[in-house]
Amino acid sequence: MRPTETILGLKARKAIAKGVNLIYEAVRLTLGPQGQNFLLYRTLNRGNRLTNDGYTVAECIEPKDKFVRMAAETFKEACKRTNEKVGDNTTTTAVIGGKLFNNCYNILSDSSCEFLAKSSSKLGVVSLKKNILSSAEKVKDEILKKAKKIKTLKDLERIATISIEDEEVGKIVAKMAWDVGVDGYIDVVEGFKGKIETEVIKGMRFPAKIAGKAFINRAERYEMVAEDCPVLITNYKVDNAQDLSSLKEINDKETSKLIIIAPAFSDNVLLNIIMACKNGFFIYPVVAPSLRTDQFEDLSVYCGATFINKDTGKRLKNIQIKDLGFLEKLIVKDSEVKDEAVATGGAGCSLNKNITDDEVGFNGNETKEEKLTPIQERIKTLKGQLEETRQEQFKNLLKRRIASISSAVGIIKVGDTTQASSLYRKLKIEDGVFACKAALRGGYVKGGGLCLKEIADKMPDSDILKTALLAPYEQIQNSSDEAIEITDDIIDSAEGIYYSVEHAVGVVANLITAGGITAEIEEETMGDGFKLIAQQMVEQNITQKRKEGQMTEAQEAEYQDRYGGLNEEEFIRQQED
């Protein structure tokens, strides 16, 4: 365990306030149609980036002081949670949280502040926390009451346009979100053609390749295509021709063609498959080495097949016709072009239906008591896993799996004239995608801070949360020299506003209870030692020159400031100590 350092009382509260406000003051500048951009560094020599994404700005701020840094990281958690839950409205979260924290800080530091004057007695931190959390619950209930469902593509276009700040691109993103639906997945990637390109995959898309070039039957597109075909799915490596002996009986009685999806095929098996094709039994071998067991299960549900799982003891040589699924079409790319397969018209799709708004609540919970289809059951299970997953890479994988089994995967390739402008557009489009998905799930409310302003206007002046709820609207207005008219076309996702309040209040309500900070003492690096030696040499040099009359007081001060002096934070801390 490393040694630690602790600060208490007013000194700790000052460090917390400084950490919170470093994030708050920076992030709030990016809010609204007149919000400013930040030029931010990027690691690994990837060049700088320009953005007004609140979460990205917050993540790039790392204070040098260890106590201030701990406070800043704690406050960032509010933006991080909103980003994970909704993917947008992180700036609103920071604005609400920063304003609320400063109000609380004033209450705890100044007995003459306006909030205490309106309260019957001085509040302690525990009472203050309870009051904040109680008021926040009422506010969240009001947000849900104000939420309206997305009924048309035009509604979704309004959401996307406000988030992206570009009407043309907003329409593109809204259309894709509308097409793939609430369970669909939209992947935003960097493009290389200097423009925005889109693609919607109408079918289940998964990583796979053709077992050999001999099976390419659409040479002009480097593809193997199978149509109206039964499907066998297994995680066995097919390396023994005897394992496929049961397929001959299936061929004789039921079908003249078959798709086999497996992790690998031996050369001997492939030769036998080629011979079978020449004899009129067309087998399409698909290699999927990167699919995990749960992904094979997803594919089996989509195809309506029994998954021949080696871990359960089911054998390839015991396959029956009832174990096979069905696909209307399967397209597999040559591995030299792209390791990708797209399946459409799976047998499982005939059992699938979209869950309607009446069946799904705000958090996606079914309210009707009816038997779900296998695909709906699978989606429900994956959604449950998504709720419990915290690591972003696994969350994205689950989202792709849900989208694939729902037959909806969208891709937006973002390009522009320069790398910096391309990255800026990519981040804005990502925000737009998340805003659209949130609106499809939970509906929309008035934007531009109006929803929270209307709720705040009905609250008593003594409610500490009131001015925090007004902060987003006021920040938008203060960002311009002229009054900004917020029309009915300006809307936000209800989920975005709901979780902005929830996460901002949750983090601040706990942060204000801190009366001390304990941080690990950071180990000095070799560079720190060299710096101390250099400063000592500078001081000795200055002393020697001063004795010899070779340096004026002005030169000495300049020399100290440039080479040997303490920075402002170190000087202030020494004075406080």
Q: Which amino acid is at 44?
A: L
Residue 505 has pLDDT above 80, yes or no: yes
Residue 183 has pLDDT above 50, yes or no: yes
Q: Which residues contact 281 (CB under 8 A, 6 or more apart)?
A: 247, 248, 251, 256, 257, 258
Average pLDDT, the chain: 83
For the record, the structure tokens of 234 come out as 């297994």
Average pLDDT value for residue range 392-407:
80
Phi, psi of 281 (to 5 degrees): -105, 100
Average pLDDT value for residue range 422-444:
90
Among candidate residues 432, 516, 479, 497, the one with its CA nearest the CA of residue 167: 432
Residue 268 has pLDDT above 60, yes or no: yes
Which of the four pLDDT bands, split at 50, 70 and 90, describes residue 572? very low
Among candidate residues 449, 446, 456, 500, the one with its CA nearest the CA of residue 472: 449
CB 129 within 8 A of CB 512: yes
In the prediction, which pLDDT does 357 show?
Answer: 41
Q: CA-CA distance, 97 to 467, in Å (whole number)?
A: 11
In the prediction, which pLDDT does 253 show?
Answer: 63
Residue 567 has pLDDT above 50, yes or no: no
pLDDT digits (tens, 9 = 90+) for 447-487: 999 999 999 999 999 898 999 999 999 999 998 888 888 98
Q: CA-CA distance, 17 to 98, in Å (whole number)?
A: 9
In the prediction, which pLDDT does 344 show?
Answer: 83
In the prediction, which pLDDT does 338 show?
Answer: 66
In the prediction, which pLDDT does 320 show?
Answer: 84
pLDDT digits (tens, 9 = 90+) for 84-132: 888 889 999 999 999 999 999 988 876 434 443 344 345 578 889 999 9
Q: CA-CA distance, 81 to 60, in Å (whole number)?
A: 16
In the prediction, which pLDDT does 113 show?
Answer: 42
All domains of the chain in start order, with CATH: 4-148+443-518 (1.10.560.10), 153-202+410-442 (3.30.260.10), 205-349 (3.50.7.10), 540-576 (no CATH)
In the prediction, which pLDDT does 336 show?
Answer: 64
Which of the four pLDDT bands, split at 50, 70 and 90, describes residue 422? confident
In the prediction, which pLDDT does 411 show?
Answer: 85
Q: CA-CA distance, 82 to 75, in Å (whole number)?
A: 12
What percentage of the chain exceeds 70 in pLDDT? 84
In the prediction, which pLDDT does 85 show?
Answer: 87
Among candidate residues 169, 137, 33, 212, the one with its CA nearest the CA of residue 501: 137
Selected residue with higher pLDDT from 201 and 92: 92
Residue 73 has pLDDT above 90, yes or no: yes
Helices 392-405 and 374-388 cross at an angle (nearest 10°) of: 170
Average pLDDT value for residue range 299-315:
89
Selected residue with higher pLDDT from 397 and 447: 447
pLDDT digits (tens, 9 = 90+) for 11-54: 999 999 999 999 999 999 999 888 899 998 876 666 788 888 89
Selected residue with higher pLDDT from 12 and 371: 12
Which of the four pLDDT bands, split at 50, 70 and 90, describes residue 511? very high
CB 287 within 8 A of CB 209: yes
pLDDT digits (tens, 9 = 90+) for 155-170: 999 999 999 988 999 9
Residue with tokens 């840094």: 69
In the prediction, which pLDDT does 354 show?
Answer: 41
SS (HEC) of 47-115: CCEEECCHHHHHHCCCCCCHHHHHHHHHHHHHHHHHHHHCCCCHHHHHHHHHHHHHHHHHHHHCCCCHH
Which of the four pLDDT bands, split at 50, 70 and 90, describes residue 558? low
In the prediction, which pLDDT does 394 show?
Answer: 84
Whole-angstrom CA distances from 76 to 83, 86, 481, 506, 512 are 11, 15, 30, 12, 15
Which of the four pLDDT bands, split at 50, 70 and 90, describes residue 152? very high
**Bridge-partner residues for 201, per DSSP?**
409
Residue 141: Cβ within 10 Å count: 12
Q: CA-CA distance, 577 to 575, in Å (whole number)?
A: 5
In the prediction, which pLDDT does 41 show?
Answer: 85
Residue 417 has, within 13 A of its CA and on its CB side, a CA count of 0
Residue with tokens 């929803």: 451
In the prediction, which pLDDT does 155 show?
Answer: 92
Among candidate residues 78, 77, 88, the one with its CA nearest the CA of residue 437: 88
Residue 135 has pLDDT above 90, yes or no: yes
Q: CA-CA distance, 14 to 515, in Å (whole number)?
A: 10
What 3-state class would DSSP assign to 253?
A: helix
Beta-strand pair 4-8/257-262: unpaired
In the prediction, which pLDDT does 551 show?
Answer: 66
Which of the four pLDDT bands, split at 50, 70 and 90, describes residue 528? low
Residue 553 has pLDDT above 70, yes or no: no
pLDDT digits (tens, 9 = 90+) for 187-200: 888 887 778 888 87
- Among 84-88, 201-205, 262-266, 381-385, top mean pLDDT goes to 262-266
Average pLDDT value for residue range 214-223:
83
In the prediction, which pLDDT does 358 show?
Answer: 41
